[in-house]
């Protein structure tokens, strides 16, 4: 039974990645927007590990699932935005992806939005 569960898990991850990569071809990356005290920008590969840590910090030590970590490594600029203070500190994120129902309904799933204590970060 353990082997069957692993095979199903691998199949689920491959299907998730295929679905999201396929439908991302029509998407543009998040735009970079400047505000008075912070910037909203697309996730860049150099910041992927930082985002993993932000997510973990905001979720009681729980990590993003493997398929979402892989998605962010492969094409994060289309599925994740980051909030960066003027001093360069990343203090927030938004994660989106397509699940099966989204394809049918022509929507996108808001997977996670997280924000550290902005008052501490932004001053």
Confidence band of 2 (pLDDT split at 50, 70, 90): confident
**Lookup result for tokens 């909030």:** 83
| Under 8 Å between Cβ of 41 and 30 | yes
Quick check: 123 pLDDT over 60? no
Cβ atoms within 10 Å of 19's Cβ, excluding its own: 16
For residue 26, give both structure tokens.
């029509």
pTM score of the predicted model = 0.87
Domain ranges in the chain are 2-122
**Lookup result for tokens 């912070």:** 38
Q: Which value, in Å, is the radius of gyration of the alpha carbons in the chain?
A: 16
Class of domain 2-122: alpha beta
| Under 8 Å between Cβ of 78 and 27 | yes
Residue 87 to residue 1: CA distance in whole angstroms: 51
Each residue's pLDDT tens digit, 62-108: 999 999 999 999 999 999 999 999 999 999 999 999 999 999 999 99
């Amino acid at each position: 039974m353990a082997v069957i569960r692993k095979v199903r898990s691998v199949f689920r991850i491959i299907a998730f990645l295929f679905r999201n990569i396929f439908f991302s071809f029509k998407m543009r990356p998040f735009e970079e927007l400047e505000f008075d005290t912070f910037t909203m920008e697309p996730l860049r590969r150099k910041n992927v590990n930082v985002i993993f840590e932000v997510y973990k910090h905001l979720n009681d030590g729980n990590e993003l699932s493997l398929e979402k970590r892989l998605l962010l490594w492969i094409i994060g600029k289309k599925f994740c935005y980051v909030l960066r203070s003027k001093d360069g500190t990343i203090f927030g994120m938004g994660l989106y992806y397509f699940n099966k129902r989204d394809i049918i309904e022509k929507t996108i799933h808001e997977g996670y939005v997280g924000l550290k204590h902005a008052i501490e970060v932004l001053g």
